[in-house]
Amino acid sequence: MNPGREFQLSDQQFGWVCKHVKDRTGITLNDTKRNLVHNRLSSRVRSLGLADFDGYFALLDRADSEELEEFVNAITTNVTSFFRENHHFEFLRDTALPEAMARNAGRRRVRIWSAGCSKGMEPYSIAMVAKEVIPDNAGWDTKILATDLDTKVLQVGRSGVYGIEAAEAIGDDRLRRFVRRGRGANEGQIRMMPELQQMISFKHLNLMETWPLRGPFDVIFCRNVVIYFDRPTQATLWSRFAKLLAHGGYLFMGHSESMLGDATFEPIGRTMYRKIGDG
Ligand SMILES: C[S@@+](CC[C@H](N)C(=O)[O-])C[C@H]1O[C@@H](n2cnc3c(N)ncnc32)[C@H](O)[C@@H]1O
């Protein structure tokens, strides 16, 4: 308890939040996240004009609560940037996409999934690389599925509009080819070109629930998402990804994530895994 706080969150209430978040999102919260959770949920309690957390949790407990979406949005951590962990994009350009094109030469189809795409910088980075590697007029059907649990970040992704400071990570050549700078009222913003937007479908999808997806995907990016999931939840996810990956397809993870002893995947270094088994 902290008497200076506008709303008090007891140990028992924090336990309730942890359980609900784990059940709904797979995210395991611990005491180091307590302040962050307290701050973010306090702002929900305040904007709803409620007296305390008990009132808020009662609202969430109602089966049809629209607030559940806001609750989940408030808990997720959405840090992202263009070309984050750039070695994945270099590998995509030099190896994963050329291999996918050789494998799919007959169907001329390439499919990539950005699972936990946040505000869309990851799928737009993938789209820029795909545009560079796959010839425009050779009849290739290239699609990127971008999914997230958080509905607010998906709106940003669909808009394709970002603050100018995000441009720094893109590089001059790509900025010239794929990005437009805002003018007048849109000064200080950048906008992704429609040719990139057309390649990406942003969809709401909770990795803990069933996936209405058929695959096969040539590459799955699931980076900086499972860091808050426990090991059994992660292991279940790897085998579900394996089922949707093409044989020889790749799974990329975040810098602090790893896969332990899954026979379906071969580690190929720097948080990249190749599907070798049947999944
Ligand atoms: C830190 S961001 C990472 C974004 C991007 N992949 C990157 O590496 O830059 C993690 C994203 O995972 C999403 N996420 C967390 N749990 C999820 C779940 N159960 N299902 C789908 N997305 C989830 C969050 O909403 C958040 O946008």
Q: What pLDDT was estimated at residue 154?
A: 98
Query: Is the pLDDT reported for residue 260 higher than 90?
Result: no
What is the per-residue burial (b if ≥16 Cβ within 10 Å, else e) of 69-105?
A: ebbbbbbbeeebbbbbbeebbebbeeebbebbbebbe
Which single residue is written with the structure tokens 């100018």?
164
Query: Is the pLDDT reported for residue 278 higher than 70?
Result: no
Query: How much is the average pLDDT of 166-174?
Result: 96
Q: What pLDDT was estimated at residue 130?
A: 98
| pLDDT tens readout for residues 16-50 | 999 999 998 999 998 998 999 999 999 999 999 99
pLDDT band at 5, cuts 50/70/90? confident
Atom of ligand 1 nearest to the CA of 84: 9
Query: How much is the average pLDDT of 140-160?
Result: 97
Do 133 and 89 contact (CB within 8 A), yes or no? no
Is residue 40 part of the annotated active site? The answer reads yes
Work out the percent of the chain whose per-residue pLDDT is above 70: 97
Query: Is the pLDDT reported for residue 262 higher than 90?
Result: no
Query: Is the pLDDT reported for residue 279 higher than 70?
Result: no
Atom of ligand 1 nearest to the CA of 254: 8
In the reported structure, the alpha carbon of residue 224 is separated from the centroid of ligand 1 by a whole-number distance in angstroms of: 7
pLDDT band at 235, cuts 50/70/90? very high
Which range is least confidently modeled, 86-90, 115-119, 135-139, 149-153?
A: 135-139
Q: What pLDDT was estimated at residue 2?
A: 62
Stated pTM of the model: 0.94
Work out the percent of the chain whose per-residue pLDDT is above 90: 85
In the reported structure, the alpha carbon of residue 149 is separated from the centroid of ligand 1 by a whole-number distance in angstroms of: 7
Q: What pLDDT was estimated at residue 63?
A: 73
Take residue 34 and report the two structure tokens written for it: 């307590």
| pLDDT tens readout for residues 8-24 | 999 999 999 999 999 98
For residue 256, what are the CA distances in angstroms to 27, 68, 204, 252? 16, 29, 25, 12
| pLDDT tens readout for residues 152-167 | 999 999 999 999 999 9
Query: Is the pLDDT reported for residue 126 higher than 60?
Result: yes
Query: Which residue ranges form the domains of the chain, and what is each CATH number?
Result: 11-75 (1.10.155.10), 87-159+194-275 (3.40.50.150)
Of 44, 111, 148, 218, which one is the catalytic site residue? 148
Q: What pLDDT was estimated at residue 228?
A: 87
Average pLDDT, the chain: 94
Q: What pLDDT was estimated at residue 170?
A: 97
For residue 48, what are the CA distances in angstroms to 44, 59, 248? 6, 10, 50
In the reported structure, the alpha carbon of residue 150 is separated from the centroid of ligand 1 by a whole-number distance in angstroms of: 8
Q: What pLDDT was estimated at residue 135?
A: 87
User: Distance between CA atoms of 7 and 141, rounded to whole angstroms?
Assistant: 52
Q: What pLDDT was estimated at residue 134?
A: 96
User: Distance between CA atoms of 128 and 91, rounded to whole angstroms?
Assistant: 14
Is residue 173 part of the annotated active site? The answer reads no
User: Distance between CA atoms of 7 and 51, rounded to whole angstroms?
Assistant: 8
> What residue ranges line ligand 1, CB within 6 angstroms?
25-27, 76-80, 84, 116-118, 122, 148-150, 153, 206-208, 223-225, 254
Q: What pLDDT was estimated at residue 3?
A: 61
Q: What pLDDT was estimated at residue 198?
A: 97
User: Distance between CA atoms of 19 and 21, rounded to whole angstroms?
Assistant: 6
Which range is least confidently modeled, 129-133, 260-264, 269-273?
A: 260-264
Do 37 and 5 contact (CB within 8 A), yes or no? no
Residue minimizing CA distance to atom 24 of ligand 1: 76
